[in-house]
Structure 1
């Protein structure tokens, strides 16, 4: 049938999706939301997801890309992108649209945890998180899994889950106190206030501020990464990192942090009366929360 004839446009016609390779050959330009490139001893794994939200599929694809990056001969691996958001954690819109939002929440969180754990367990090279924009919730914890966090000035971090009525996961109970101390970690996750890049550096959440315009962030990160890779002290730092991770594992395995966090999250996901469901729905639909409310300090999380 043709235009104007019955049945011409009564069903959608889909174009096939052709996955772009992680490393593009010379001369090829195409859109892709995950890309890997290498410059000497430095690997750059960039990702760019709209709004910073990471669905189950996004997390699994980025994990596959991470594993690919680990096969490359580098001493420094930079994770990040240059668009507005680094990551805001699990994808609430995809979860809300799912036939089983509780089940999709669980799948998404476990995929996010798999990714964060892979970064934490990378001990054969130095890992840098490069935040060209904002990050929140599990996205902040993904960044903190790296050895160094570089943040463009003007970015804002929200290292908490409270506005969705959640305890949180992504190994935050390991990574956050390790950086800022137990008292500050408790305050950040219960007060649920935004943290400027300057404050983040002051309290140890961020290691380096990058004071450039957004369009200059990627080249400046590349320059700084080259300096890091050329540092004669880098091999010692990598060895010390591996030793420290081994000691931490003996003290309390990452699996135990994950088990404890997920037990709290599972209870919220699969309880239909938990505030998370109404808060998530209101957030996605840009509606008032009504009777749903975030937790307040002192309540069980």
Structure 2
């Protein structure tokens, strides 16, 4: 039995403790235990050691699956997933599927780990940079096609991680929340590039302003997703693999890859990713370092299950990028 997250018990009247990765929650509470290392590409399937990041190959298709409780990705989660992603890109595949499980795809940075950190502002900064590193790796992959497979739900930076891929495939029951407003954040993960590129500037502005959930069908209709897969949750991974294999063997796959490389070169000439990241992080840095910013109170209320203050009425949007 693997227990990936724990919440410490608190006394009467004390604030509720944050839910944390078990290794964080138990740090210093147990005698020294042996650490079992796993390779960056931990194999999936019967007999393989448990890991929240696994990899398998089916002919020309590699599938890098990850399953973090509640979709929250700490600095450590992001760095491990980035190492696995880079290792997967060394494999002889033509299509790489990112995700593909029935659980949460990603909800972005880990607010619990941030809240429990000695310096939440510093941990916020480390976490968002680790997320940006991961998203940048996906955005700059030009030697294969990448599919983000959303079998559960995704929100905030998790949606932007998916949008970094060439195609986004959602299970029919998935729900996306492509915004940051409810946590009082401007957002990063290259959203000011990826979201307008997908849905257009006007729709991108509306999505981040209204902060409403988007079902899979709506996501496809507005260009946020490319494909909706009608299947039970348990069948999603197999369906994604089947479709990815068909895509890998299609006549259009190679031309899509050529176009992807050309688009990457044009993008860097017109809108360098480094400039996008710098603009977004300038907003985030100001929020993290301002003790009075709504983000801090909203984060605290969310992770400790306390009454939440009202989020900012109007976030900065695409026009500010």
| TM-based fold match above 0.5 | yes
Indicate if the aligned counterparts of 1:48 and 1:81 stay in contact, CA closer than 8 A: no
Q: CA deviation at 1:197?
A: 0.6
Equivalenced residue count is 290
Contact 1:41-1:75 within 8 A present in 2 as well: yes
Residue in structure 1 matched with residue 117 of structure 2 by the alignment:
98
The TM-score, its normalising length taken from structure 1, stands at 0.93
Which has the larger Rg?
Answer: 1
Aligned residue among 255, 260, 285 for 1:236: 255
Question: Match for residue 274 of structure 1?
Answer: 293
Matches within 5 A, 1:39-188: 39-188=58-207
CA distance in 1, matches of 2:194, 2:45: 39
Gap change, CA 1:119 and 1:268, over 3 Å in 2: same
The equivalent residue for 1:199 is 218
C-alpha distance in 2 between matches for 1:93 and 1:297: 25
Query: Cα offset for 1:146?
Result: 0.3
> CA shift at 1:24, angstroms?
3.0
Displacement, 1:264? Answer: 0.2
1:293 to 310, 313, 316: 310
Where does structure 1 lack aligned partners over 5 or more consecutive residues? Answer: 1-10
Is contact 1:54–1:89 with CA below 8 Å preserved after alignment? yes
C-alpha displacement of 1:192: 0.4
Deviation of the 1:155 alpha carbon: 0.7
Helix, strand or coil for the counterpart of 1:46? strand
Instruction: Give 1:176 shift.
Output: 0.2
For the residue of structure 2 that corresponds to 1:38, the secondary structure is strand
Higher mean displacement: 112-121 or 232-241: 232-241
> Matched residues in 2 for 1:153 and 1:17: separation?
39
Residues in 2 aligned to 1:64 and 1:38: alpha-carbon distance in whole angstroms: 17
Which has the larger displacement, 28-37 or 222-231?
28-37
2:36 is the counterpart of 1:18:
yes
Matches of 1:25 and 1:296 in 2, distance apart?
44
Stretches of structure 2 that go unaligned for 5 or more consecutive residues are: 1-28
- 1:57-103 Cα offsets, whole Å, 9 max, x none, are 00000000011011111110000031320000000000000000000
Task: Give the 4+ runs in structure 1 shifted more than 4 A.
Answer: 298-301
Shift of 1:23: 3.9
Distance across 2 between alignment mates of 1:298 and 1:221 = 35
Report SS of the residue matched to 1:85. Answer: coil
Q: Is the 8 A contact 1:156 1:195 kept in 2?
A: yes
SS in 2 for 1:86: coil
SS of 2:102's equivalent? Answer: coil
Partners of 2:249 and 2:168 lie apart in 1 by 18
Provide the alpha-carbon RMSD of the alignment. Answer: 1.7
SS of the equivalent of 1:24 reads coil
- How far did residue 25 of structure 1 move? 9.0
In the superposition, relative to structure 1, how do residues 41 and 123 fare at CA in structure 2: closer, same or farther (>3 Å)? Answer: same
Whole-angstrom distance in 1 between the partners of 2:180 and 2:310: 13
SS at match of 2:194: helix
